[in-house]
Amino acid sequence: MIFQQVESPDDVAEVAFERIQHWLTAKSEPVFALPTGATPLPLYRRLIEATRDGRLPLARARFFALDEFWGNDLPESSTFRHFLVTRLLSPAGIPLDRLVALPTSGDPERVAATHESAIRAAGGLDLVLLGIGGNGHIAFNEPGTPHDSRTGLRVLTEKTRLANGYLFAGHHPIPTHGMTMGIGTIATAREVLLMASGSGKAGIIGRLQDGPVALELPASSLKSHGDARIVVDRAAGVALN
């Protein structure tokens, strides 16, 4: 696992953009896993622009959702699927059937097995893009999640629920559970790129660099991955040495 510090959130986006370009050059149908949240938005804006200009054949890729809220009768507009559709796929003109999203309800074991087998059928994950929670979570894998975990249901911490509250904006209780690719699933990717920007991530990025691989810090699992990179802007990397 390597750290790369750049200046701004747009520079973080540029690094991720180049890796996406790389995989689109290397393969006819590369497979990407996509995060939600504030961090990837500059990247998504960049991808939309380049796709609209005809400079990036992003529609050739397959996309997998990393995670999703879990609960009955969740408003579609609050889902991570909706986030990815409205923040990336639709504005970029990418057919929605290029995205394998996770449902918000059903038989959890069957849903998890279906996502895992769809990943396998697509030839495995080429590039997993990630954000990081203030508590070190990756996707919805909260502290304590085994590093060999596969896709499945997780209990969300209060912190994670609050961080995602804006998606529910008072019109629905924030779900208590999420369905997510496991840490072990993410580890099967050929390349992992974790993005962090802003001073709110400085503490966890410092802990990630200094500490050992530990269950309490899910992102530390990436230390054992052969091609994982942590790209941070100046503010998020202030504690790096």
Q: Which is nearer to ligand PGA, 12 or 24 (CB)?
A: 12
Asked about 115 being catalytic, the answer comes back as no
91, 94, 137 from 86: Cα distances, Å: 7, 11, 24
Asked about 142 being catalytic, the answer comes back as yes
Asked about 67 being catalytic, the answer comes back as yes
**Residue 217 buriedness (CB in 10 A; 0-12 / 13-18 / 19+):** buried
Q: Which is nearer to ligand PGA, 115 or 161 (CB)?
A: 161
Choose the catalytic residue: 68, 115, 126, 137: 137
**Considering the complex, what minimum distance in angstroms separates the CB of residue 70 from ligand PGA?**
16
Q: Which of 131, 175, 178, 237 binds ligand PGA (CB under 6 A)?
A: 131
Site residues (CB under 6 A) for ligand PGA, limited to 149-168: 163
When CB distances to ligand PGA are compared, the closest residue is 37
**Considering the complex, what minimum distance in angstroms separates the CB of residue 48 from ligand PGA?**
18
The b-or-e profile of 12-33 (16+ CB within 10 A means b, else e) is bbebbbebbbebbeeeeebbbb
**Considering the complex, what minimum distance in angstroms separates the CB of residue 45 from ligand PGA?**
14
Phi, psi of 76, rounded to the nearest 5 degrees: -55, -35
CA distance 114 to 98: 16
Asked about 135 being catalytic, the answer comes back as yes
| Chain mean position to CA 223 | 17
Closest CA to 19 of 125, 90, 148: 125
**Using rule CB under 6 A, residue 132 touches ligand PGA:** yes
17, 53, 57, 176, 180 from 20: Cα distances, Å: 5, 16, 10, 33, 22
**Considering the complex, what minimum distance in angstroms separates the CB of residue 27 from ligand PGA?**
26
Q: Which stretch binds ligand PGA (CB under 6 A): 24-32, 87-95, 130-138, 179-187?
A: 130-138
Q: Which of 38, 59, 96, 169 binds ligand PGA (CB under 6 A)?
A: 38
**Using rule CB under 6 A, residue 91 touches ligand PGA:** no
Angle at 113 between CA 99 and CA 41, to 5 degrees: 30
**Using rule CB under 6 A, residue 136 touches ligand PGA:** no
Beta strands at 152-155 and 99-100: parallel, antiparallel or unpaired: unpaired
Known catalytic residues? 67, 135, 137, 142
Question: Which residue ranges make up the site for ligand PGA (CB under 6 A)?
Answer: 37-39, 131-133, 163
